[in-house]
Every structure is written in structure tokens, then in C-alpha cells.
Structure 1
Amino acid sequence: MKSVSDRPYSDPEKAPRRIMELVRAFEPIQDGRIYIEKINYPMIYQDKATPAEYWAGLEYAKDQGWLEYHESGTYVRMTQAGKDLFA
């Protein structure tokens, strides 16, 4: 059985910060959009976050006002607050 220390994204501060690192790593397309797969693939398949950890981090970043999540689920956009905090 895996311990909490084996799940770094179980820490509520780590997943949102990793998500914001990934958002900043990609050049936005039209209107500052970042396709969601540019974030979810590295988090889930490379960093080995669970879908629940990934989703909780995304929700946290959205709730903090760092990201706007489009209702279609296809992209996010970094807000000015997110740009200022993670500059």
C-alpha cells in the first residue's frame, strides 16, 4: 500500500502549483488559451497524479482566481492574478 509520502499531490498546495507551472510552460493560443491536455497529460501520465488529485488542483487554482476554466472543458486561461502570483 502506498503511503501519503508516495503521493506528493495529496498535499493540497502542490497540485495547484504544478498545474500553474505547466500552464506557464506553454505558449497560449488565441486569446491566451491553453488546451487542457497540455496540463492533464503531464500531471496524470508523467507526474503520476491521480485524476482526483489533478482535478482538486485544477479546482483550487480556479477557486483562487488563478485560472479560468472554459465550460467546454477544452482549455484554461491564466488570469492576471495567476500571472502576478506565478511570474
Structure 2
Amino acid sequence: MKCASARPLADPENAGRKLVEIASSIQPVQDGRIFIELINVPFLKQGGTGEQFRDAVALAQERGWLELHESGTYVRLTGQTTEVR
């Protein structure tokens, strides 16, 4: 019998915080842009799913922690990310 491990990124609050943590560790390119794939891959490697990633981005936007460009190709961290921790 296998024991199922807890999935910490299943909670949108934890997933949003993890997403911002990952984004904060990445060096932005011009105008503070962080390409979405640079946060997507580490998020998935942490055990998250595509749906959890989508929910985490939505929560982070709602809370004002990051801005998602309308094209969906990059995000920008806002000054409100200090509230995340």
C-alpha cells in the first residue's frame, strides 16, 4: 500500500506564495520582465500541476503581488511582494 504524500501546492495560497518566491529568485530582463516559462518549470518541478500554476498566477494577480502581461508571456513583480512573506 502506498501512502499519498501531501501536495502543498494544492492550496492556492501556498501555490501563490511559492510562485512569487520563485519569481523573486529570477533575474528580470528589460523593464522587469520575467518570462513565464522561467517560473513555470520550477513550479512544476516543485510538484505543482498546470492547473495549480494557473490558480497561483490568478491569486498573485488578485493580491497585487505580480502583473501578468496580456500576452501571457511574462510577469512583473510589484512592490507589494514584501507582504507575501
- TM-score normalised by the chain length of structure 1: 0.85
CA deviation after TM superposition for structure 1 residue 85, in Å: 2.2
Segments of structure 1 that go 5 or more residues without pairing to the other structure are none
RMSD: 1.9
Segments of structure 2 that go 5 or more residues without pairing to the other structure are none
Q: How many percent of aligned residue pairs carry the same amino acid?
A: 42
DSSP-derived class of the 1:13 partner? helix
Q: How does 1:5-84 map to 2 (within 5 A)?
A: 6-44=6-44, 46-82=45-81, 84=82
Q: Which digits, 9 at most, give the CA deviation of each residue in 1:3-45, with x for residues without a partner?
A: 5x5321111221001101111101111011101011101111x
C-alpha spacing 1:2/1:13, structure 2 compared with 1 (3 Å) = farther
Q: Which runs of 4+ in 1 moved over 2 A?
A: 84-87
Q: Which digits, 9 at most, give the CA deviation of each residue in 1:32-73, with x for residues without a partner?
A: 1101011101111x1121111111011000010110000111
Distance 2:76 2:10 in 1: 24
- Check the 8 A contact 2:35/2:73 in 1, yes or no: yes
DSSP-derived class of the 1:63 partner? helix
Number of residue pairs the alignment of both structures matches: 84
